[in-house]
Chain A
Amino acid sequence: MKRKLIISAAVITLASLVGCGQNTTTTNTPTNTNQSQVNTSTNSKPTIAVLLFTRKFQFMVALDDGIRKEASKLGINVTVLDGQGSSQVQMNQIEDALTKKVSAIIIDPNDSVQLLPGIKAANNAHVPVVTVDGVMAKGADVYSGVLFDNVAGGKALAQYIGSQVKKGSVLELSGRPGHEHDQLRHQGFQDGIAGTGLNLITEPTNFDTATAQRITATQVTAHPDIAAIGAETDGLNPGVITALKQLNKFHTVGQPGHITIAGLDGTPDALNDIRQGLIDATVQQDPVKMGELSVDQAFAAIQGKPASSPLIQLPPTLVTKSNVDDPSLWGNQVK
């Protein structure tokens, strides 16, 4: 009886592992291991390994979509893997990709320093590396990097708030101390608020909605003069809205007593919130476009072309009620 249970559990585990393997691998053309993959003059399709540091945000899923779309347009196979927010996992994934002899690697690095040995290994194997949504520290060769201008994004968010609110305090909900994107956004936000005369209160949220709710409730209670709240990722917006409801301080956009709420990312949820007047604005960073550009870069690298630019930075776009229905916004493109 017990043995049967153990065996069946083992079988189920194995089956699910096999299932997972099939899901993550989209390639079905076996790569020719005898041939150098950098040379694509043969008729076998090149394969790119895409290593995302996490897939836990809608933003990352959209990035994944952008990459897949562009790859299928160019006739490239892609294998997308989830790094589960861990440099060590990403390290293993780089090694596995090199063993499989992929033509190029696109990586959204969990950390710009910790992954250097992996990038060096790719350099030694002559596999070009393109970073997306982040950069690597000096010490290894990266073909090019495609990323959002996070400083400009944070600044645009703060400047929008400065244009709406003339006095009082601003609550800035940041992400996690030590997180690179977050530090850049915070830096931009500080720049944008400087000189407005507004008092800045910054609190980290670990990118967690429930934490954002707790902090908003506590800070708005302690500082009744908070006139605007800026969230450095749109996932925090529901926490802000419900915290204000809890304090009876939530009023939709345009009503007296409304506290300005603005986010960053431009997710479909944020666009809906703007339409309904729950929040005022969001600063878009376009993951679909970013994904497409990174595949273009990787493709150029495989063809042996020199990089057009070592760093391609996408500018932020402010989204308010006036342009929320623009079909070119990524939040309107994904479901």
Chain B
Amino acid sequence: MSDRSQMADSSIQSNTFKNNMPVLSKAITHLMGRLGLFLIIVVFSVILSFLSPAFLGWTNLTNVLLQSTILGTLAIGETFVLIAGGLDLSIGGVLAVSSAVGLGLMDTNHVPTIVGILVSLLIGLIFGAINGLSVTKLRISALIVTLATMGAAQGLVLIYTNGATISPVPDIYNYLGVGRILGIPVIVIIVLVFSILASLILNKTVFGRKIYATGGNEIASSLSGIRTHRVIFSSYLLSGLMASIAGILLTSRLESVGPTAGDGMELTVIAAVVIGGTSLFGGQGNISGTILGVILLSLVSNAIDLLGVPAAWIQLVQGSVIFLAALLDVYRRKISQNMT
């Protein structure tokens, strides 16, 4: 809360001498804001490389990137929803149900691969539409709606899989799972492309501007002619779509889909997005921050694995590191604001 009021203060301040501020220094401040999280990652990596000799190896670094892909895909969708002022808890469940039904259709009903993939994406879109309509038209709180659809999605997975793991996967999934281009895993390239596209949509399109405006102040945006319901609906649609894509990517990586797929991922994703600088109250955030947040959390898991943290301690260490990262991030943003 206090963070938000400071934001408001600083925006008033910066407005007062906006005319004097050179474009260049604004750009530098902006860069500092971005670099901050990057610096945390660099420092963390340096410490880690001293603690574990295996860390800086190419194989381990590609492992970390690969482990970031699923979280990253989900986080891109979640970033849109959060910036537009909403919240989507259903992503883990949607990931599971869309990929299970898609692969199930291919394996047991022998539908062509492309049909299975389209059905997966369609299920993601349907869940996104239900979330979006419930929030905008029925005026149910996003937390409750997406909690309900999360439960419904997980329930559908149990009914559909009956507790079993679905496999095998078609060739295209195998290729996505292990394929490499110039030594870089295909799946990493795909998520990189998604990130760039998402970043362009947010920063360079009218739709992107509308998302920021709606999340920043829905009433003002609505009064100034933005069809805010449509914008919010679209953000949930996008999140559902990204969840189903994440499902396809996870299925490719595991060459199967099981009933525990996506369990508990939503909270890790939201943590990554918020650490990346997106506000839980809407109106602020960016994709590059989100991706850095995802990489930081993947590094934390990697560190825990490499350093052999005792099993009972893992969750405590994970929680503390997330808290610390969030704290450092608030501090860094304060500094970069004072500098303006």
Check if A and B associate: yes
Interface stretch, picked from B76-84, B256-264, B328-336, is B256-264
Question: How many Å from the CB of A294 to the closest CB on chain B?
Answer: 18
Interface: A100 (CB within 8 A): no
A73 CB-CB contact with B under 8 Å: no
Can you list, as one digit per residue, whether each of A96-140 has a CB less than 8 Å from chain B (1) or not (0)?
000000000000000000000000000000000000000000000
Nearest Cβ in chain B — how far from A42, in angstroms?
36
Encode A161-187 as 1/0 by CB contact (under 8 A) with B.
000000000000010011000000000
Contact A58 B138 (CB under 8 A): no
Q: Which of B183-238 contact A (CB under 8 A)?
A: 185
In chain B, positions 161-176 with a C-beta closer than 8 Å to chain A are: 162-165, 167
Total cross-chain contacts (CB, 8 A):
105
Q: What 1/0 mask marks residues of chain B from 20 to 63 whose CB sits below 8 Å from any chain A CB?
A: 00000000000000000000000000000000101001011001
Question: Contact check: which of B57, B137, B308 meets A221 at CB < 8 Å?
Answer: B57
- Contact: B165 with A56, CB < 8 Å? no
Chain A residues 229 to 252 lying within 8 A of chain B, measured CB to CB, are: 235, 238-239, 241-242, 245-247
- A247/B59 in contact, CB under 8 A: yes
In the assembled complex, the Cα of A238 lies from the Cα of B167 at a distance in Å of 9
| Given A9-B138, A204-B311, residue A218 in contact with residue B60 (CB < 8 A) | yes
**Contact B263–A208 (Cβ < 8 Å):** yes
A217-B63 contact, Cβ under 8 Å, with A56-B158, A177-B312: yes
In the assembly, what is the distance between CA of A218 and CA of B66, in Å? 11
Majority-rule SS of A interface residues: helix
Is B70 positioned at the interface, with any CB of A under 8 Å from its CB? yes
Number of interface residues of B (CB under 8 A): 38
A4–B206 alpha-carbon span in the complex (Å): 34
Chain A, Cβ-Cβ closest to B60: A221
Assembly CA distance A203 to B138 (angstroms): 46
B255–A210 CB distance below 8 A: no
Assign chain A's interface to a size class: 35 or more
Chain B residues contacting A201 (CB-CB under 8 Å) are: 308
A57-B163, A235-B258 known; 19 new pairs, CB 8 Å cut-off, are: A57-B259, A58-B165, A61-B163, A201-B308, A202-B311, A203-B311, A210-B253, A217-B67, A218-B305, A219-B305, A221-B54, A221-B59, A222-B60, A238-B256, A241-B255, A242-B178, A242-B253, A242-B254, A242-B255
The interface of chain A, by Cβ under 8 A from chain B, is 2, 5-6, 9, 55-61, 174, 177-178, 201-204, 207-210, 213-215, 217-219, 221-222, 235, 238-239, 241-242, 245-247, 267-269
What are 25 A-B residue pairs whose CB atoms fall within 8 Å in the complex?
A55-B158, A55-B163, A58-B165, A61-B163, A178-B312, A201-B308, A202-B311, A203-B305, A207-B260, A209-B261, A210-B250, A210-B253, A210-B261, A214-B63, A214-B305, A217-B63, A218-B63, A218-B305, A221-B54, A221-B63, A222-B54, A238-B256, A242-B178, A246-B185, A269-B165
**What residues make up the interface of B, taking CB atoms closer than 8 Å to A?**
52, 54, 57, 59-60, 63, 66-67, 70, 137-138, 158, 162-165, 167, 177-178, 185, 250, 253-256, 258-261, 263, 301-302, 305-306, 308, 311-312, 314
